[in-house]
Structure 1
Amino acid sequence: MEVEFLGHGGFIITSGQMRVACDPWVSPRGAFHASWFQFPCNHHLWDRDYRNLTALVITHEHQDHLDAAFLSQKIVARIPIIIPQYPSRSLWSKIRAACANPITEVKPGIDHQLGEGLRVLFTTEDTPITPCAAATFQTRETVLINLSNARLSVKQRDTLKYRLRGRIDALLVQCARVDWNPICYRHPEEKMLALSVQKRVEQLEYAFQTLDRMPPRIGLPSAGPPAFLEDSLFRFNDDLGGKGIVPDQKRAHDWLRVRGYTRRLEIPLPGDRLNLINGEFAPDATIRKEFSFDQKDKYLTAYAGQMRPALAACRESLPRPTEDVFEPFRAYVQGLGESDASRLEELKLELRFVVEGSHGGDFLARCDAGALTFERTGGQTAACTITLDSVWLNQILHHNLRWTDFFLSLRFSVEQDPSAEDDHVLSWLQLVESQALADGMMETTKEKPAHA
């Protein structure tokens, strides 16, 4: 088995005549409406010919793992797309919206034969919002585990290790996880740094414990961080002197060493190759002429300048609201209340929306004792305030953008009353995403999935 790394969390496995891509993200348009970009840049891989792929594996629905442009433009119609079987059909729906390829949903814990002795096994992490799965690729001679974004429990990791009889040749583990809290929250600086360090260390410690508990021949930091190239987001690239929430691959590597991990680690860049039979890691010379972690700040500044015209074009292509957004927003909120009355009984919510830009306004959504209301605020305070631009709300109200994807774009800010006991943003997300998942279920009943 040979692995070619595509950047971020993507790679191609070659085994005999099989060529299987997993989570390829190479689109020059980035992800989440051009708020995330690949780091380092891998856009040169977009121009390659991918028609010789024999299968495609996608672990979950986040756009840095599910590249809709890649699905619609770069693969031939006959190749199957293999995905974990989740309770929600959201992942299936997003793939079907991008292409007509046959989709095979595989139950977690069941080996799926890809061909010529190559098989894949999914281990799912179920979360209330967006589930994720680890993908284990096996041949008779080799084993590669791609943890992707999944946070597997100790029991799941031990069970997987036992099933593989301790044989793990390569383990791709995420060391940086983007989280809008605290990134988008207006916390005092001291609290912001404390939360950033806490979440940074939690993710790095998870990576260390996983590598230590499931020791592979080769460990590989993977799937992050992205690059934030828009002017308003560029500051999120700052590692804050080792206190930022999303350390780059080199800082993660160094942290693992200081923490005490002594086994082999490699940092894969786009174009690098790994032979799992003999363990040979072949770095790509071309990208290393253009990129170095030691020159990260200079590289990101040049990268942002290169992408500035594309970023401007993306923003200009978005339709602006043509009327006051209050009535459409109120109808949207009322629809949430009508669709999930049982959830409202358990929900406590007080969320103010400050919508900036054309036809914006100041609105308050409140839920208490099962009653969901929405009104203009007149500037009154609330337990939690979200500030966003009307162009993004317009996309959401027209069902062109899900709240989870918008939140991951980081194009908003949150101010929460320090005395508030409830996480009002999470409560809102649980409400709106339960509706989105229900809509997805309704859509997919119209067409039976191929090979489901």
Structure 2
Amino acid sequence: MDITHVSNSFLIVETATTKLVCDPWVGQANHGGWRSYPEFDRRDLIDRVRGADLVYISHIHSDHFDPDFLADSGLLEAPFLIKTYANDTLRRRLRALGARTVIEAEPFTPLEVRDLRLVVVPQFQTSNAGVETDLDYDLDTSLIVAADGQVFFNQVDNPMAAAHFEAIKAFCDREFGPIDVAALVCGAAGEYPQCFLNIDRKAEQARIIDAALAKLEASLRILRPKRVFLAGGSYFIPGRLTELSRLIAQPTPDQAAERCAFVPFVALEGGRRLNVGTGEVAPDLTPTLSELGQVQAAHAAEPYPYEADPVPEDDQLDAAFARAKAALEAMLAARRVRLNVDYEFRLYDELTEQRARAGAHRKQLDLSVRTDAETVQPTKLRLHLDARAFALCLSRRQSWNQTISGSLVLQEREPNIHQPDALFALNYLVADTPS
């Protein structure tokens, strides 16, 4: 078995007769708030994935499910492997793109495709923090690949605790044998701490990196793979908010290798290929830009997609916000979500960190949610964002989740306590019909 790591979670797994492409994402994601690196010539990537026998899409987030590349590359001709979801949005979107075959796999049920044995691992918990929520999502997956007498575990973004890694190791030992290679995430990609204005971001960055390394070490001591590489989390913020990239809390591969020296690390990202049997690493694809500073400079002036829209008038924003508030309140009541949050939306014609800190917004809209009688002190959440992005989120043309996690929203939170539902609830702050 050979494994080529392009960037982020974009992997190519090959045997003598089968080519599996995992999460092929290149370019923009999260409504322009993230960009992949290293960068490659798009034609080289299309040539490299040509003739794929199977495409695995771990989940629907745009840094894993990239409709443009799927269409451009011809991958829609291949069968797709996804988990069976209660919400079949991913399957429907693949079909709408033109995918001919979508294989929906039950969790922990081995599936044979040519000479590959594949197992889709479901989501166990909502976030890496393991915080209890009322708005849980069946979203992420991981993948186990067995072929040629070798076993590869690809965690992708799937958040897991120690008990979940123990379950995966036990399953692999029972069904396939010890894990030869693991691709593990180290640190969760997201908006914290770089987008939070009222905290010590450097201190929080250091704390999160240390915690991520500790969790990686604990996970590896459970899984005990013969080799490991980091996959997922390699991205930067382009455009006028690009300076936030320096505060993203992602450990480097060197930090991970030093912390977890008891397992051999292999450096693959950027188009290198690992032969799982021999451990040999060789070049496969050549990036056009590989250093973070290079790609940041190349995209520092890149506009965000929402900037193509006209700036909405105040009365349009007020009307859409009123309908969206009613929709959110109805959902919270129906699902009995426990939440006490005061939201303050500060809207800008062109958001920058300097304008947010100076209070130079053009409009403010407020929303108070009171559904948890046991909470005395509500959370105060101030969200700074472009008025055009706000309007697109209200109209469902843009996702709240990906706009926020894509670092297009600057935040102030009091107290500074992670409450997943405070942000998950915003996915229901949408007007009744798309505009």
TM-score, normalized by length of structure 1? Answer: 0.80
Tell me the equivalent position of 1:55: 54
Alignment partner of 1:199: what SS?
helix
Tell me the equivalent position of 1:160: 168
Tell me the equivalent position of 1:366: 368
| Stretches of structure 2 lacking an aligned partner (at least 5 in a row) | 127-135, 351-360
Matching of residue 123 in structure 1 with residue 131 in structure 2: no
Give the conservation status (yes or no) of the 8 Å contact 1:71–1:99: no
Tell me the equivalent position of 1:449: none
Moved over 6 A (4+): none
Give the conservation status (yes or no) of the 8 Å contact 1:225–1:249: no
Q: CA deviation at 1:252?
A: 3.0
Q: Report the Cα distance in structure 2 between the residues aligned to 1:273 and 1:73, rounded to whole angstroms.
A: 24
Alignment partner of 2:49: what SS?
coil
The one-letter code of the counterpart of 1:219 is V
Give the conservation status (yes or no) of the 8 Å contact 1:225–1:248: no
Q: How does 1:48-197 map to 2 (within 5 A)?
A: 48=47, 50-115=49-114, 117-126=115-124, 127=126, 128-129=136-137, 131-165=139-173, 166-189=177-200, 192-197=201-206
Q: How does 1:240-319 map to 2 (within 5 A)?
A: 245-253=249-257, 257=258, 259-284=259-284, 286-287=286-287, 291=290, 299-308=291-300, 311-312=302-303, 314=305, 316-319=307-310
Q: Report the Cα distance in structure 2 between the residues aligned to 1:230 and 1:130, rounded to whole angstroms.
A: 32
Q: Report the Cα distance in structure 2 between the residues aligned to 1:341 and 1:156, rounded to whole angstroms.
A: 32
Cα deviation per residue 1:71-110 (whole Å; 9 max; x = unaligned)?
2221254421111223333433443454433222111110
Match of 2:318 among 305, 322, 326: 326
Q: CA RMSD in A?
A: 3.0
Q: CA deviation at 1:274?
A: 1.2
Tell me the equivalent position of 1:429: 423
Give the conservation status (yes or no) of the 8 Å contact 1:141–1:277: no
Alignment partner of 1:267: what SS?
coil
Give the conservation status (yes or no) of the 8 Å contact 2:2–2:274: yes
Alignment partner of 2:271: what SS?
coil
- Alignment CA distance shift 1:138-1:38 (3 Å): same
Identical-pair percentage: 20
Q: Report the Cα distance in structure 2 between the residues aligned to 1:138 and 1:302, rounded to whole angstroms.
A: 37
Give the conservation status (yes or no) of the 8 Å contact 2:78–2:99: no
Q: CA deviation at 1:406?
A: 0.6
Tell me the equivalent position of 1:296: none
Q: Report the Cα distance in structure 2 between the residues aligned to 1:167 and 1:382, rounded to whole angstroms.
A: 46
Matching of residue 385 in structure 1 with residue 382 in structure 2: yes
Tell me the equivalent position of 2:216: 207
Give the conservation status (yes or no) of the 8 Å contact 1:161–1:214: yes
- Alignment CA distance shift 1:416-1:285 (3 Å): closer
Q: CA deviation at 1:308?
A: 4.8
The one-letter code of the counterpart of 1:433 is N
Q: Report the Cα distance in structure 1 between the residues aligned to 2:236 and 2:117, rounded to whole angstroms.
A: 33
Alignment partner of 1:161: what SS?
helix
Q: Report the Cα distance in structure 2 between the residues aligned to 1:176 and 1:222, rounded to whole angstroms.
A: 10
Q: CA deviation at 1:141?
A: 1.1
Q: CA deviation at 1:290?
A: 5.7
- Alignment CA distance shift 1:75-1:67 (3 Å): same
Q: CA deviation at 1:351?
A: 0.8
- Alignment CA distance shift 1:196-1:19 (3 Å): same
Tell me the equivalent position of 2:410: 413
Give the conservation status (yes or no) of the 8 Å contact 1:137–1:144: yes
Give the conservation status (yes or no) of the 8 Å contact 1:250–1:267: no
Q: Report the Cα distance in structure 2 between the residues aligned to 1:209 and 1:413, rounded to whole angstroms.
A: 32
Moved more, 104-113 or 268-277: 268-277
The one-letter code of the counterpart of 1:91 is L
The one-letter code of the counterpart of 1:2 is D
- Alignment CA distance shift 1:129-1:414 (3 Å): farther
What count of residue pairs does the alignment treat as equivalent? 403
Q: Report the Cα distance in structure 2 between the residues aligned to 1:90 and 1:360, rounded to whole angstroms.
A: 36
The one-letter code of the counterpart of 1:268 is L
Q: Report the Cα distance in structure 2 between the residues aligned to 1:404 and 1:208, rounded to whole angstroms.
A: 29
Matching of residue 6 in structure 1 with residue 25 in structure 2: no
Alignment partner of 1:231: what SS?
helix
- Alignment CA distance shift 1:22-1:260 (3 Å): closer
Q: Report the Cα distance in structure 1 between the residues aligned to 2:53 and 2:284, rounded to whole angstroms.
A: 24
- Alignment CA distance shift 1:130-1:414 (3 Å): farther
Cα deviation per residue 1:21-53 (whole Å; 9 max; x = unaligned)?
011112x3x211222122222344444263411
Tell me the equivalent position of 2:353: none
Q: Report the Cα distance in structure 1 between the residues aligned to 2:69 and 2:343, rounded to whole angstroms.
A: 37
The one-letter code of the counterpart of 1:184 is C
Q: Report the Cα distance in structure 1 between the residues aligned to 2:429 and 2:364, rounded to whole angstroms.
A: 24
Alignment partner of 1:48: what SS?
helix
Alignment partner of 1:185: what SS?
coil
